[in-house]
């Protein structure tokens, strides 16, 4: 059997680090948003006496990865087979469009896509894989959800869908051809004071309320925040240059995504976005124009499935924040 999936990238509209656990992982308060930049995955599975997993990589950034057993897509397939005690020959074709080390969750999205594709093929319940998915990567469970916007807590695996009923801005993403290892970023992090954390967490709640009220970008762009910028921008000239170039264009809704290195801007109109792409494009970076990823679930009047691992959708419309 064969199945095809789109594996979307994500950006973080907000990211605060709230603490560090004894196991070394950091606690987060974040707002994830899936976007229409993504990888394209084809998964074929046939019964076999012994299991075999193979991967073919294509696409503009395929050379950034190895098609071996350490690839997250291959590891995800092996986890699926082991968890459900299935023997099969699995072949995957992955068209890579999401750069690696970019703060866009590409590897996590691919891993989730493989697990979900195999659940479809073998008629298994995806909820049974959530714990294994979180062990594979903190961002992997995010892509088990169909919703576009999700509030993330814990190490990012405690997820609550957030309704966004209104028109959303366009996105321009700039990848400065620099991969930023996440471990390197967190080594530089100095946790903020508890008072600062409380303030920022209240801003996250305000941001969610504004988005849930379909407020224009002008009303909430000042709430965009990423604590990890201070751990990347002073140390990576290419990332800093992108931020400076974006701000020179009088675009003020600008933020680094995740642990970097991609920087994105939110703009109100498609024309503004395309003009910005033309201004920013050069041989030292890759610039993308895209939109937020809307699933069928997002379009169906807020009919949310939160029966696995998440809370109820947040949609409190009190915009006097």
**245 a catalytic residue:** no
The CA angle 261-264-267, to the nearest 5 degrees, is 175
In sequence order, the β-bridge partners of residue 3 are 43
Give the pairing type, strands 225-226 and 149-153.
unpaired
Q: How far apart are CA 242 and CA 236, in angstroms?
A: 10
Residue 131 and residue 147: Cα distance in Å, rounded? 19
Q: How far apart are CA 261 and CA 270, in angstroms?
A: 24
The reply to whether 183 belongs to the active site is: no
Beta bridge partner(s), residue 32: 12, 150
Of the candidates 139, 151, 245, 304, the residue annotated as catalytic is 139
**Which of 294, 289, 237, 239 lies closest to 266, judged by CA?**
289
77 CB contacts (<8 Å, ≥6 apart)? 53, 90, 92, 114, 118
Helix axes 106-122, 72-84, angle to 10 degrees: 30
* 306: exposed, middle or buried (Cβ count in 10 Å: 0-12, 13-18, 19+): middle
Joined together, the tokens standing for residue 290 give 């895209």
Q: How far apart are the first and last CA of the chain?
A: 51
d(CA 158, CA 145): 12
Residue recorded with tokens 């009923």: 165
Angle (nearest 5°) at CA 246 between 185 and 248: 130
CA atoms within 13 A on the CB side of 163: 19
Catalytic residue among 10, 34, 236, 304: 10
Catalytic annotation, residues: 10, 139
């Amino acid at each position: 059997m064969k199945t095809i999936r789109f594996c979307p990238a994500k950006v973080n509209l907000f990211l605060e680090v709230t603490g560090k656990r004894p196991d070394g992982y950091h606690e987060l308060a974040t707002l994830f948003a899936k976007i229409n930049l993504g990888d394209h995955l084809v998964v074929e599975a046939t019964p076999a006496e012994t299991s075999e997993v193979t991967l073919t990589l294509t696409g503009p950034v395929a050379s950034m990865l190895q098609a071996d057993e350490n690839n997250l897509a291959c590891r995800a397939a092996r986890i699926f087979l082991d968890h459900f005690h299935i023997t099969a020959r699995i072949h995957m074709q992955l068209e890579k469009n999401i750069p690696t080390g970019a703060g866009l969750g590409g590897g996590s999205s691919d891993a989730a896509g493989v697990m979900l594709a195999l659940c479809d093929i073998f008629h298994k319940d995806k909820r049974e894989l959530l714990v294994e998915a979180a062990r594979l990567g903190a961002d992997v469970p995010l892509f088990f959800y169909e919703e576009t916007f999700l509030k993330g807590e814990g190490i990012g695996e405690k997820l609550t869908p957030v309704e966004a009923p209104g028109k959303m801005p366009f996105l321009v993403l700039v990848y400065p051809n620099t991969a930023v290892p996440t471990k390197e970023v967190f080594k530089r992090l100095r946790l903020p004071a508890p008072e600062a954390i409380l303030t920022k967490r209240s801003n996250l709640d305000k941001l969610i309320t504004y988005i849930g009220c379909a407020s224009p970008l002008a009303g909430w762009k000042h709430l965009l925040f990423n604590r990890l910028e201070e751990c990347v921008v002073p140390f990576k000239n290419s990332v800093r240059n992108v931020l400076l170039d974006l701000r020179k264009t009088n675009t003020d809704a600008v933020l680094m995504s995740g642990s970097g290195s991609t920087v994105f801007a939110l703009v109100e109109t498609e024309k503004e976005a395309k003009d910005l792409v033309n201004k920013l494009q050069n041989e030292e970076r890759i610039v993308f124009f895209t939109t937020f990823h809307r699933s069928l679930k997002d379009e169906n009047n807020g009919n949310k499935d939160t029966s696995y691992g998440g809370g109820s959708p947040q949609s409190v419309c009190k915009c006097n924040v």
